[in-house]
Amino acid sequence: MVEEGFRLWLKSTPTIANLRLRRAGSIFLLVAFTIAHSLERPRTDGALPRDFAGRSSDSYIATLGGSGEGWPSVSQWIPFTEMFQNNKAIIKAGCVQFGANKVSDEEMSDLSSSIQSVATFSGVDARFILAIVLQESNGCVRVGTTNNGVSNPGLMQSHGGIGSCGNNKKSPCPKSIILQMIKDGTEGTSSGDGLKQCLVKNGGSGATAYYRAARCYNSGSVATSGNLGQGGSTHCYASDVANRLLGWSSGPSTCNEATVGSLSDTQSAGSSSIDVTSLFKPTSVPAKKFTHSTLSSLVTTQYFSNIAQWEPSTASTGKHFSTSCSWPSSITTAAVYPYTIATCLQYATVGSDDYCQKIETAYGISAVQLRDWNPGLDEACTNLWCGYRYCVKA
């Protein structure tokens, strides 16, 4: 019943070209793909919610304007589990618009676990990743690839990513590919930026950094004015993402593409005098400020204090590591490889002279088993990280 209602809403909702401006070298490329987005007028009665208690998931809270300053704080975002639950009907029916099979319960579970795994490793908040997934593809694991000079595949329509089940509408979509789609969009690719790079490049503190990163991900950059409703691509993108983080899911967006860019930090749609900051209760602890050079440690400290940020060394297949691993001073015990399956029964810590074949021989397992239990490993096992605990029995 819920899914049928969603399909009817999707058919009755006008669509617009969601334009993404991607940079390839020195050339900006305009990439268009269609998503459901309402063109309804913003509220004009000036009546805006003062808190979010009892808010409905079908209610667009408010059209937010300006640079992201004074927008809802991270502490006001709903929990990941609640956010994912609210959007299950959207995700399940998300592939219908593309003529592909609905997302299965297993695929939905794999999507949830993949988002949380990548969030833990990258330091990017899982709720923000989910909001972008919903904004880009409605969570359809079989969404197609758009290509207008730059390939934008997968759940997050990443910049030149390798993860996709859309070319042949593959069903079921393997967990390893779902994971790769989330990695491509969050961690970036060799061709272009992901959410992590957008967070670094656009400054801001706390939640403001995330809202600016959303606009960067959509259009390739934030307008020189700093106004998130201005510039190229989808003007309502950042406001929509903010509302998703507050609990909005199935109802139509009331953000107006034509007017959101005229709003300032202290204005919301339909009001020229109301203070947007009064809509949201302030956090009890001020958010840390950060610079480009301190972003990764900030995100880790603020949201994942138990995850150390460092770049692991890699090993080549069938031979010793080319360089010895080094442990950062902050790490005292080996960390579990972030993409290891949840049902693992035994782990092995990778040392500086280890490689995949050696591990397989030592534990009597096959290369296929090692990859299945540690889905982040590529087929040639060229990306084994020293200092991490990998699953060797399940």
Average pLDDT over residues 71-79: 92
Q: Domain ranges for the chain, please list them.
A: 2-279, 314-393
Are 73 and 297 spatial neighbours (Cβ–Cβ below 8 Å)? Answer: no
pLDDT tens-place string over residues 245-265:
999 987 788 899 999 999 886
Question: pLDDT tens-digit profile of 81-124?
Answer: 999 999 999 999 999 888 899 999 999 999 999 999 999 989 99
Listed in sequence order, the residues at least 6 apart from 332 whose beta carbon sits closer than 8 Å to its beta carbon are none
Confidence of residue 7 (pLDDT cuts 50, 70, 90): very low
- With beta carbons less than 8 A apart as the criterion, state whether 233 and 9 touch: no
Which of these, 187, 125, 138, 131, lies nearest to 158 by C-alpha position? 187
The 8-class DSSP code of residue 338 comes to T
Determine which helix (DSSP H) or strand (DSSP E) holds 219, and give its type and residue range: helix 207-219
Taking the complete model, does pTM exceed 0.85, yes or no?
A: no
pLDDT digits (tens, 9 = 90+) for 350-379: 887 788 888 988 899 988 889 888 877 777
- Which structure tokens are listed for 117? 């795994």
What gap in Å lies between CA 200 and CA 309, rounded to an integer? Answer: 15
Beta strands in 136-274 (DSSP E): 146-147, 151-152
| DSSP H/E element including 375 | none
β partners of residue 393: 346
- Write out pLDDT tens, residues 186-207: 999 999 999 999 998 887 778 9
pLDDT in tens, 120-162: 989 999 999 999 999 999 999 999 998 878 899 999 999 999 9
Q: C-alpha angle with apex 151: 150 to 152, nearest 5 degrees?
A: 115
Residues of the chain with pLDDT > 70, as a percent, come to 68
Report the alpha-carbon distance of residue 104 to residue 75 in Å, rounded: 31
Instruction: Give the Å distances, CA to CA, from 17 to 37, 192, 195.
Output: 9, 22, 22
pLDDT at 272 over 80: no
Convert the pLDDT of each residue in 15-41 to its tens digit: 333 444 443 322 222 233 333 333 232
Question: What is the model's pLDDT at position 350?
Answer: 86
